[in-house]
Amino acid sequence: MDLSSINRKVDITMIIVVTLLCIYGAVAVFSATQSGVRGGDSYFFLKKQIISFVIGIAALLLMSVFNYNRLKRYMIPAYILNIALLVAVLVIGKEHKGAQSWFQFGFFQFEPAELTKLILVVTFASFLASRKGQLDSMRDLLASLAHIGVPLLLVLAQPDLGTALCFLAILLGMMLVAGSPARHFAIIILAGVIIAFVGIQFHVLKDYQLDRLTVFISPDNDPRGAGYNLLQSKIAVGSGQLFGKGLFSGTQTRLQFLPERHTDFIFAVIGEEVGFFGTVLLLILLFVLVMRGLQTAAFSKNLFGTLLATGIISLWLFQILVNAGMTIGLMPITGIPLPFISYGNSALIVNLMGVGMLLNIYARRYV
């Protein structure tokens, strides 16, 4: 089999880019966790990240081999599973930093909200594809909102505002490609503004969540409290300048001034240690990944495949923009990880499953 034949069935570019991103992320996580490690094991988080990568590769291969069109048959069971996972974590899940969003299996933590993102993409793609792009009526809009709204409310109950916002990104991206009219988006935006206003007025959002959403406007007003994370992140990114302080040599990171440095603020670690050029390289890799995903969506042989790819890319693109933006003060702090880079067992495995699904759609674009 020649190279052109392989390239026709396998998106080699995507595989290379994802591999480089996972390596980039593992190095960044290792650097970010050299200080303050558990039990004195400086490889603790790196080892867990590598284990997650191995599991994720197995999941990627599984997702890439079967015919993705079969997923449409399991829309209802998959949606029920989605709801069941989110309800179960509210009942028997472990609380971490004020959110009850984890299952604990020995040393391994599983966050069902990460898996529910991908399941939601599959079920919503099946839902929209069944309407063949005919989404003109208010009934279609309400049905779409209900499809997303039930899991969204369950996620907010944890509470996990970041994942809830990811669900909205999936909704908007997929509805756009499915052909929803502009008035539907205007209604959604207006409803979002009203809900946000009501949530603030009646204290539905917890105080720390509201502080995170508003502190990026003026972090200096509370430099030791709500503004601390953002100020330390901006110091880290700015101090990296063009070429950075050197790998494993970031002072904000090593001296533990930078909070959540291996998860939410991993981009700041990269900015401090490898500087502007290192972050640009990372953003180029992420840009190529998003573009390959969009091309997969564009050349899919059917609407279902297009919507699947769109949902996955909408999710990744939203997370990239928000995570990178919040570390430099352009976006609110919402606890959204950077795909393939931030530490997280569940997130890495599910993201690699998403890659497998894109490879599946790519391989079947002509058949």
SS (H, E, C) 24-63: HHHHHHHHHCCCCCHHHCCCHHHHHHHHHHHHHHHHHHHH
Strand order from edge to edge, sheet including 99-105: 94-96, 99-105, 108-110
Take residue 25 and report the two structure tokens written for it. Answer: 């992320």
Q: What is residue 227's DSSP assignment?
A: T
pLDDT in the model for residue 56: 94
pLDDT in the model for residue 221: 60
Percent of residues, the chain, with pLDDT higher than 70: 85
Return the SS3 of 271. Answer: helix
Which of 206-220, 269-283, 286-300 shows the lowest mean pLDDT across its residues?
206-220
Cα separation, 365 vs 298, in Å, equals 10
Q: Which amino acid is at 293?
A: G
pLDDT in the model for residue 1: 47
Domain residue spans of the chain:
3-363
Q: Is the pLDDT of residue 170 over 70?
A: yes
